[in-house]
Structure 1
């Protein structure tokens, strides 16, 4: 047997063994060699215990679900069940409660928190307060095989407790350019793969398949038309190569963007690597790299926030002050606008800041727009207004006005922004914030009676004819009444709200897909927070009544260690 054939068979065997590794197994990548590959991070193998009772057998099967290699889980199944069971999806429960063996089956129950499909896309279950939705049941029908109990009929997919899911499945990012083709938008996916080669191939395959449904109209596709995802293959080495049929026929600008997508996507698991795109085994030139090899550093600017360490501001006595409490110079800091909220944004090539604020009674507030140096002027937008938010790197501020959203230029001209989601969207837009790159927007929709309020996230779609928000989907639990929302980074948000049944208020963390809803400490806060701001690499701030508070580890403190008067903190956008 030749060395090449031996190596091919070794890799083929490895791929067959790992073809049951959780979600990312919809199609095996084409691989001819393995270089520097880490071993999967599995726990000890779990095998069926001789003469185990049916309940123990099901419990051990579920424990085997939580291992990287699900081949051991199949040992708990009858031959017929082995051929039918698929492990490409995940159901996440708060915990797994296993019943006794009754009427030929064992039932597993738990409160459902979410599901993961074969593409790694997480869908949350939003009933309840974030600890899980309604109780669901899964029946495992048992049968004896050669005198030993085995599972004969079972639900398709893995069933995991939330703790195991968070331990095993990591959030990965697939990057797509927005419609301006200037910014890279992350599309989060969950995978249990730890082998760099298998994970790299799965990510490249998902990139070729395309974005999640919510991003379909908001991002561009750089891959060659009719690309077969099964023919995209990553080989580890120096450089890491990505075989992508048809890449050589793309124009130079498209090849540059394709290189950016691949580099940022694969650099997560192969940090610092050089990459090269192959078409039919030949390296494809990338113009921006000046050759055929490129790295993620050459495209990092497409994902960086507009401000690396943004300064903080808040309202005091109707004017804008900085983090030390010093009023901004001019009209903005004087208090003459009697502001209740403010949004500030930098301008490329200018020391002046774009400024927008709301002023007046809650039921009929008015929007002011201008700059920090020249002052602001009132616009025609008025009503129940949210805090305004500047679109990143654009001379355009958005604000919720009752059930509508308007975008307003520095000149003060308002334009309605259509909102599209599942069914008719109702409620007041009580909060609105852009993601750091501007491809997504988070809004809080509050019911007319104030009894419910959820965070919704949608894609910002910009065309020459229209700017709209597509695919708005709720991401926060229905029983938490949300007050405000802010983006920590491109994929993580902070919210504040209260549990409807208990009235308990808290600060929460959540991912853009609704996963990992987590209450955070409210230690030292004198009451329920009313507004929040946060950004990447800086601390969160909230306002409670007439005071502002800064997060410090697991608790909150007033700036300078003392209670500080102020409201509506905001970071430079």
Structure 2
């Protein structure tokens, strides 16, 4: 993931490509033939460039060893689970569909033997138990889940070979959380937002659709196949693909890999034969954005081919950026916050601690502010009055007047009034009014005009914070209910009402921090990633990154300064985090420690 404008940041996906070594999962080879069956412990962490393979069943293995060996084999890097299938009967192997889903447990699955009668000496049953943590479905989409897992595995003694084999088992794959983290990698597929206007210059707006693929089992090909099949179910209503319906890799294509010039050639089936040049370029741009960080050096050029092998089109990174707006439209020029005089100020570039009031009434005037949001083009800003009652939108031009309020809250206390506003990529302004008598989420087209009340049919609680993604089709909300706060991601649906005005609603809200009892602050920190400040039940405050699907991205969480109340990040991941903490405004650059900018300051924001 990266930003458009200053060159994209390469985030190496170490371990996606095969290294030079291999490790055998030997746990099953040392299993006893009898005794209590132990849980499958997650495989110790390996060198990320090492392929891990499982051991096939030993001759005359007992039922316990067969179950244990099969579960170990599910965590290996066999492309088609060839070794795992050796633990199954021929019929069970034909029926088993490992690609249907991956169930992730907090720890490895624990097989519990079931009671059998004395007469039944040729069959055994085991219940696989554990605590559910997540599920990856057939579309590769990740969903956090909870509750108890319990599915049955049945074994039979093959009368021809006199060997125990599994003849009945649950569909899909099951493994522990640490094995999942070793086996899978998160990848952003990219599609085009279908219900927001094109960006300035006519660029289409891209939206990230994160999925999980097996990291060492031809991740490039798996990712391309997933991209061609279209957006995941959650995103599909607000995203579109330029690839025609029914498109797939060409006949006989089993593996894709870039050449030594980082060019990837993708043969397609006959559904692409009549695609025009414009559509083909849009297809190629989706591929480039999707694959840019998947290989160690990145894919920098894509060539698409027809079913007869002729070239359909070719695209490089610079041309892809002309076609589509990827991430932020441009790199932000400034970081902003409210200083000790309650003015909106901005920090100079290159890590400078020098700040100046913004031009216009929000920086030069006498109106005191409690929060502000700067439009993504940095030409306008919205400010919330110090009492939280009034919202203003002012051009960032010297001498620009404050003007009239664009929205007023009637809440009786400051905490029951307006939240910090947020701008989407199309220039519309979003804010929540926390008035208990009239709680509402509001959108103002281009920051002006009659406020549009946004429908929130799935909302259960009160909105405490609002952040809209740059793509304009996803929104992050901190929602409070019964004294607990959660981070929820919703889909922005836009239609035209009977009166000709936009009808906007938030649907398919889902919690992406189920493990946190309290969420204090959040901000978008990438195309599909947010930075979150919160705490678990009985725990201390912590800062972490979280994906919009609720998964935890690979890598270390940022250190948390003391007493963080607000956090600001940019979709451009090269830019530092900025926070309001007990030490005032502090900044965290990559590879550094938190540094204090100024003691007297609050409400840090990046454009957006």
TM-score (norm 2): 0.74
Within-5 A mapping of 1:428-467: 428-447=462-481, 449-459=482-492, 461=494, 466=502
Within-5 A mapping of 1:162-201: 162-179=177-194, 180=197, 182-192=204-214, 194=216, 196=218, 199-201=219-221
Matched residue, 1:313: 336
Q: Which runs of 5+ in 1 are unaligned?
A: 1-39, 126-132, 285-291
Which deviations, in whole Å up to 9, do the C-alpha atoms of 1:224-272 show, x marking residues without a partner?
3x53547677666777143242435345433332232233335545613
Aligned residues: 503
For the residue of structure 1 that corresponds to 2:231, the secondary structure is: coil
- 8 A Cα contact 1:521 1:555, kept in partner: no
Matched residue, 2:374: 344
Using the TM superposition, give the Cα deviation of residue 134 of structure 1 relative to its aligned residue in structure 2, in angstroms: 2.6
Matched, 1:72 2:93: no
Q: Distance in 2 between matches of 1:62 and 1:565?
A: 57
Matched, 1:112 2:132: yes
For the residue of structure 2 that corresponds to 1:249, the secondary structure is: coil
Matched, 1:249 2:271: no
Matched residue, 1:326: 355
Using the TM superposition, give the Cα deviation of residue 385 of structure 1 relative to its aligned residue in structure 2, in angstroms: 1.8
Q: Distance in 2 between matches of 1:215 and 1:381?
A: 33
Using the TM superposition, give the Cα deviation of residue 543 of structure 1 relative to its aligned residue in structure 2, in angstroms: 1.7
Q: Which runs of 5+ in 2 are unaligned?
A: 1-48, 116-123, 199-203, 348-352, 412-416
**Residue of 364, 376, 390 corresponding to 1:366:** 390
Matched residue, 2:44: none
Q: Distance in 1 between matches of 2:251 and 2:220?
A: 11
Larger helix share, 1 or 2: 1
- 8 A Cα contact 2:250 2:307, kept in partner: no
Which deviations, in whole Å up to 9, do the C-alpha atoms of 1:544-567 show, x marking residues without a partner?
35722323669963425xx72221
Q: Distance in 2 between matches of 1:209 and 1:526?
A: 45
For the residue of structure 2 that corresponds to 1:271, the secondary structure is: coil
Matched residue, 1:135: 148
For the residue of structure 1 that corresponds to 2:51, the secondary structure is: coil
Q: Distance in 2 between matches of 1:503 and 1:239?
A: 47
Which deviations, in whole Å up to 9, do the C-alpha atoms of 1:59-117 show, x marking residues without a partner?
22211101121110111223332222221110011111524534233333322111111
**Residue of 69, 88, 91 corresponding to 2:103:** 91
Using the TM superposition, give the Cα deviation of residue 461 of structure 1 relative to its aligned residue in structure 2, in angstroms: 4.1
Matched residue, 1:298: 319
Q: Distance in 1 between matches of 2:147 and 2:355?
A: 50
For the residue of structure 2 that corresponds to 1:77, the secondary structure is: coil
Q: Distance in 1 between matches of 2:137 and 2:585?
A: 42
Using the TM superposition, give the Cα deviation of residue 416 of structure 1 relative to its aligned residue in structure 2, in angstroms: 2.0
Using the TM superposition, give the Cα deviation of residue 164 of structure 1 relative to its aligned residue in structure 2, in angstroms: 1.1
For the residue of structure 2 that corresponds to 1:44, the secondary structure is: strand
Matched residue, 2:420: 387
Which deviations, in whole Å up to 9, do the C-alpha atoms of 1:196-233 show, x marking residues without a partner?
5xx44444433332211222221233233x53547677
Q: Distance in 2 between matches of 1:555 and 1:101?
A: 52
- 8 A Cα contact 2:112 2:128, kept in partner: no
Using the TM superposition, give the Cα deviation of residue 399 of structure 1 relative to its aligned residue in structure 2, in angstroms: 0.9
Cα distance change on mapping 1:54 and 1:414 into 2, 3 Å:
farther
Matched, 1:219 2:239: yes
Which deviations, in whole Å up to 9, do the C-alpha atoms of 1:448-478 show, x marking residues without a partner?
x433433223245476863634433322216
**Residue of 517, 521, 528 corresponding to 1:480:** 517
Cα distance change on mapping 1:45 and 1:450 into 2, 3 Å:
closer
Matched, 1:416 2:445: no
For the residue of structure 1 that corresponds to 2:240, the secondary structure is: coil
Using the TM superposition, give the Cα deviation of residue 275 of structure 1 relative to its aligned residue in structure 2, in angstroms: 0.8
For the residue of structure 2 that corresponds to 1:139, the secondary structure is: strand
Which deviations, in whole Å up to 9, do the C-alpha atoms of 1:464-522 show, x marking residues without a partner?
863634433322216522222211110111112232x3153221211111112799768
Cα distance change on mapping 1:96 and 1:202 into 2, 3 Å:
closer
For the residue of structure 2 that corresponds to 1:445, the secondary structure is: strand
For the residue of structure 1 that corresponds to 2:605, the secondary structure is: strand
Q: Distance in 2 between matches of 1:411 and 1:67?
A: 53
TM-score (norm 1): 0.78
Supply the RMSD in Å over aligned alpha carbons.
Answer: 3.2
Using the TM superposition, give the Cα deviation of residue 178 of structure 1 relative to its aligned residue in structure 2, in angstroms: 1.7
Cα distance change on mapping 1:259 and 1:273 into 2, 3 Å:
closer
Matched, 1:60 2:54: no
Q: Distance in 1 between matches of 2:432 and 2:236?
A: 25
